[in-house]
Structure 1
Amino acid sequence: MNVIMPQLGETVEEGTVSIWHKKVGDTVVAGENLFDVSTDKVEMEIPASTSGELLEILVQEGETVAIGVTLAIISDGSKANEELVSATSEGEKNSSNTRSQSTNRSRIAKEKINKRDSKGNPLSPVVRRLLADNNISPDDLNGSGSGGRITRGDVLSYLNNNLANTSNGQKIVPFDSVRKLTAEHMVRSKAISPHVLQAVEVDYFSVNRARMLLGKAWKEQYGFSLTYLPFIAKAYCQVIKDFPRINAHVVDESLILFDKVNLGIAVDLDFQGLVVPVIKNADDKSVADLAKEIWSLSDKARNKKLVPDEMAGGTYTISNSGTFGSLITAPVINQPQVAILSTDGVKKRPVVLESDMGDSIAIRPVGVLAQSFDHRAIDGAYSAAFLKRIRDYLQDEDWDIDLN
């Protein structure tokens, strides 16, 4: 049976084989991890779809091929499989007849050694690159991965602990692939879009009341806490109907306006970069639905289970730094979107309450919502009006009814 590069998403045309978990001759069991695939956005484990013996690996680690290309062949012991492998191998030999058989054997043997540590565990391309760039032997590391496999984190930890500059105490920590992609995107975004930041304070009394009323029962039923984020997401989805130029992309000198809201939620990967999974058709969902989908996508992101389609098609992004108690954040726009919203820490503060009976002071949960927007697409008045409407919606909506 042919093992092919799987369909990784509607928008993905190719993938890179990061690592093979089996070598030629190994027994493969259906459902166990066979190889890892990476794209420019995500890395995922691909399980075997059938059981048998791994007879041939046609695409080596680090090679990038199109969707549908045959990567390997698994035999179930039938004669047809043996003939298929023989034909495939013969074709490969004919296509590379400029090299001698002995040279090929030597090169292949060297590749196999370089791609595995002394214990036989495979080394992914990023691990091999980090080891080579820093002149480190895999024998110097204790792998924390499955079966003692060396991970990127193991190499970075080794660098952090052992490569101090003895003259001034500095340490060199190379960017990993996620950090490199993040850096590239951030620099490009700041170069393309003239960023402007605006912010409003929000009294979360109404939201917090709903959270407190349902908090314990919610966590018992769903296994996670009901945070402020799904309420903010719902407010955006309601308000954006009157501000279509924000739920949009900038393309050349035009705006593409979207009827539906595909809401990106920035997820931190334990301080090792971030990804932005997308809630499709978020404007059709309730607060409860948004809460469950935010939690589900965030959990998949942290466990590297996202597929590319789950990070594609976003029309607006929310970045949540509130869990760390930040006061205000100036987020960088997720290109080619028009704007991005930051939610920061919520703290108890004195708030002036106005009524027909006069002013009074109460202690309320207050936080800041800040929006960075592309000044090519909208002006300050438009953005400010949008933020005011979100604030008013969060403060005035009867969230108890929405959740029940």
Structure 2
Amino acid sequence: MNVIMPQLGETVLEGMVANWYKKVGDKVEADESLFDVETDKVTSEIPTPVAGVLTEILVAAGTTVKVGTVLAIIREEGSTSEVTAAPASENVVAAVARPAIAGNSAQIQSRMPERSNDAQVRLSPVVRRLLGENGLSPEQVTGTGNNGRITREDVLAYLASKPSRLDKTAAPLSRHTAATTQPVLSAPQPVAVSVGKDDLVLPLNKIRRATASHMVRSKTTTPHAVQAVEVDFQAVDKARQAVGKEWKEREGYSLTYMPFIVRAVCDAIGKYPYINSSFGNDELIVHKRVHLGIAVDVNFEGLLATVVRDADHRNLRGLAAEINRLASAARRNQLKPDELAGGTYTISNSGTFGTLFSTSIINQPQAAILSADGVRKKPVVIEGPDGDVIAIRPIGILAQSFDHRAFDGAYSASFLRYLKEIIENRDWLNEI
């Protein structure tokens, strides 16, 4: 069986084989860790697809290849036939100088071309992007990784040692641009920061850099608008309090507000389908399936949007289980490729930190994102048959940032109003 480079996300076209857990000749079991794949967003541990013997490793650790490239060959248990792989070199980024070589990983690395010939192929996606953004070539940076491979820290260290480089290159770049293109408005360059002797300079990890890049791209390409509603979570709280202790003992985790919000969002999208869309080139792509992204903080190092697939086909109990499973896997760095790809609408749960109101940045290429902020007891006016009364209720704010190109404020507001009605009026105890 051919082991191929998996698709780690809908926009990811390549990945770097960061590490092999097995060597040629080793016996492997199904679902046993086989290798790590690194992209600019996440490092994923890829399991063995079948049980058998690892007969060939075609792509060495540290090599970046396109999705679908054959990385290794496993002879399945009970099979005596030989498996022939498609030439890996056709799919290798800045292809290697010779065909893939069978043998253990140490032999492969010793037979790989010298760095001057395969510098590009041994660059991870994040390193390649760093070099490109700063106009550097691999030859300018001294690598400290295995076999001289350039790491992200190597590039950042080089940039830190050249503080005046941006000023020197800015003028020639401007002249070239003016000579070859029409004048356009460009995003302002970051203000230069002077580093004091007591300041701590921390290189950004790959998740933090990917998050930063995505947020800037979203804000500069999408006209964000924000609306919010106050929601009374009394009906939700009654259900949580009725089953909370039993739920925790049986399931092993607490029943939070999030599954209720997700369930209500799915129903509201059914009535307002444009919320579950993406803005394309002069067209609105309305997604039939609801794949809800749940933004998960990874130990303050960045955000990952885990995806609950076909969320509208799951009941409350199923949503709670899947949300908890994905969040746990994200924090243990054990997410599978499909669990980060294909989201159509995202919910940011900053309410776990007690926030009052958040304006989230849209997760591209989606059209909207919902922020679920903290729920706290507040005095509110309740309209009753005998007049208004003041009561203490659990109140939280749901705020939606949306792409104003995709739909207008009236549509977004109607969605939020309907979402509020569902949360406040549903008999949630019957849903559990």
Q: Same fold (TM over 0.5)?
A: yes
Letter in 2 for 1:239: A
Q: Which residue of 1 aligns with 2:187?
A: none
Following superposition, the deviation at residue 62 of structure 1 comes to 2.5
Kindly indicate whether residue 225 of structure 2 is the aligned counterpart of residue 199 of structure 1: no
Instruction: Map residues 192-231 of structure 1 onto 2, 5 A cutoff.
Output: 192-231=221-260
Letter in 2 for 1:192: T
Tell me if the contact between 2:279 and 2:366 (Cα under 8 Å) persists in the aligned partners. Answer: yes
Tell me if the contact between 1:264 and 1:315 (Cα under 8 Å) persists in the aligned partners. Answer: yes
Deviations 1:185-221 (A, max 9, x none): 1111111111111111111111000000010111111
Deviations 1:108-131 (A, max 9, x none): 9xx9xx9xxxxxxx9699994425
Q: Which residue of 2 aligns with 1:65?
A: 65
Tell me if the contact between 1:42 and 1:307 (Cα under 8 Å) persists in the aligned partners. Answer: no
Tell me if the contact between 2:5 and 2:65 (Cα under 8 Å) persists in the aligned partners. Answer: no
Instruction: Map residues 224-263 of structure 1 onto 2, 5 A cutoff.
Output: 224-263=253-292
Kindly indicate whether residue 159 of structure 2 is the aligned counterpart of residue 130 of structure 1: no
Instruction: Map residues 22-61 of structure 1 onto 2, 5 A cutoff.
Output: 30=29, 33-47=33-47, 57-61=57-61
Structure 1 segments unaligned to the other structure (5+ residues): 97-102, 115-121, 136-164
CA distance in 2, matches of 1:373, 1:239: 15
Aligned length: 348
Tell me if the contact between 1:8 and 1:307 (Cα under 8 Å) persists in the aligned partners. Answer: no
Following superposition, the deviation at residue 72 of structure 1 comes to 4.7
Kindly indicate whether residue 337 of structure 2 is the aligned counterpart of residue 314 of structure 1: no
Q: Taking every aligned residue pair, what percent have the same amino acid on both sides?
A: 47
> Structure 1's 389 and 170: CA in aligned 2 closer, same or farther, altered over 3 A?
same
Following superposition, the deviation at residue 39 of structure 1 comes to 3.6
CA distance in 1, matches of 2:318, 2:33: 32
Instruction: Map residues 207-356 of structure 1 onto 2, 5 A cutoff.
Output: 207-356=236-385
Q: Report the 3-state secondary structure (helix = DSSP H, G, I; strand = E; otherwise coil) of the residue aligned with 1:359.
A: strand
CA distance in 2, matches of 1:183, 1:212: 39
Following superposition, the deviation at residue 14 of structure 1 comes to 4.1
TM-score (norm 2): 0.70
CA distance in 2, matches of 1:105, 1:294: 43
Tell me if the contact between 1:262 and 1:315 (Cα under 8 Å) persists in the aligned partners. Answer: yes
Structure 2 segments unaligned to the other structure (5+ residues): 89-95, 101-109, 123-144, 159-193
How well do the aligned residues superpose, as a CA RMSD in angstroms? 3.7
CA distance in 2, matches of 1:210, 1:22: 49
CA distance in 1, matches of 2:147, 2:325: 28
Q: Which residue of 2 aligns with 1:184?
A: 213
Following superposition, the deviation at residue 70 of structure 1 comes to 4.1
TM-score (norm 1): 0.75
Q: Report the 3-state secondary structure (helix = DSSP H, G, I; strand = E; otherwise coil) of the residue aligned with 1:372.
A: strand
Q: Which residue of 2 aligns with 1:16?
A: 16
Following superposition, the deviation at residue 372 of structure 1 comes to 0.4
Q: Report the 3-state secondary structure (helix = DSSP H, G, I; strand = E; otherwise coil) of the residue aligned with 2:327.
A: helix
Q: Report the 3-state secondary structure (helix = DSSP H, G, I; strand = E; otherwise coil) of the residue aligned with 1:277.
A: strand
Deviations 1:20-79 (A, max 9, x none): 34567x85654653421124543222345556687x654222212245544356899xxx
> Structure 1's 247 and 180: CA in aligned 2 closer, same or farther, altered over 3 A?
same
CA distance in 1, matches of 2:360, 2:149: 29
Tell me if the contact between 1:61 and 1:125 (Cα under 8 Å) persists in the aligned partners. Answer: no
